[in-house]
Structures are given as structure tokens and as C-alpha cells.
């Protein structure tokens, strides 16, 4: 059975649990409330309190769709120039 880490507040209310591979907090655990734009994930919090994000990687299906859209745009552009 894997170990589980439980994050809870001072009243004992469980905030989150995580099993398997997880990071143990060092020192006090802080929080902040922010808005994460669609298509991005938070990766860390900078020393100034700003959330650092990165774009979600595109799935193989989304990459194929993007390539098809580019091909269609090229074809439409070629037709309008002719």
C-alpha cells in the first residue's frame, strides 16, 4: 500500500491528499488565490509571490488538428491569390 500525504488546515479540515510520489513540504505551507489562464498550468510561485505558469503541452491529436488547419489556410490562401 503506497504512502499518502494529507494537507489540512488548523481546524483539521482536509484540503488535499496525494498518494504515491509526492513532495513533502518544508517549513510552513502557504497559499494564495489567483486566476490561471485556460491552457496553462502553474509550475511554481516566485519569491515575489507571482505564480509562474507554462502552456499545457498539446496532445498528438491537437497537433494533427493544428497541422490540418495550417494546410487548409494555405490552400485557401492559394485559391484566393489565383
**Structural domain boundaries of the chain?**
4-81
Indicate if the alpha-carbon torsion angle 56, 61, 62, 63 is positive or negative. positive
CA–centroid distance for 31 within its chain: 17
Q: What is the full per-residue pLDDT of the chain (82 aa) written as tens digits?
A: 889 999 888 888 889 999 999 989 999 888 898 999 999 999 999 888 899 999 999 899 999 999 999 999 999 987 777 6
Q: Please give the pLDDT value at position 36.
A: 92
The residues near 29 (Cβ < 8 Å, ≥ 6 apart) are 7
The residue with cell 513532495 is 23
Q: Please give the pLDDT value at position 82.
A: 65
Amino acid at each position: 500500500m503506497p504512502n499518502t500525504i494529507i494537507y489540512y488546515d488548523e481546524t483539521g479540515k482536509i484540503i488535499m491528499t496525494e498518494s504515491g510520489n509526492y513532495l513533502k513540504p518544508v517549513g510552513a505551507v502557504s497559499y494564495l488565490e489567483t486566476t490561471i489562464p485556460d491552457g496553462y498550468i502553474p509550475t511554481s510561485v516566485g519569491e515575489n509571490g507571482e505564480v509562474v505558469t507554462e502552456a499545457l503541452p498539446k496532445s498528438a491529436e491537437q497537433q494533427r488538428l493544428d497541422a490540418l488547419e495550417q494546410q487548409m489556410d494555405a490552400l485557401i490562401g492559394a485559391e484566393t491569390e489565383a
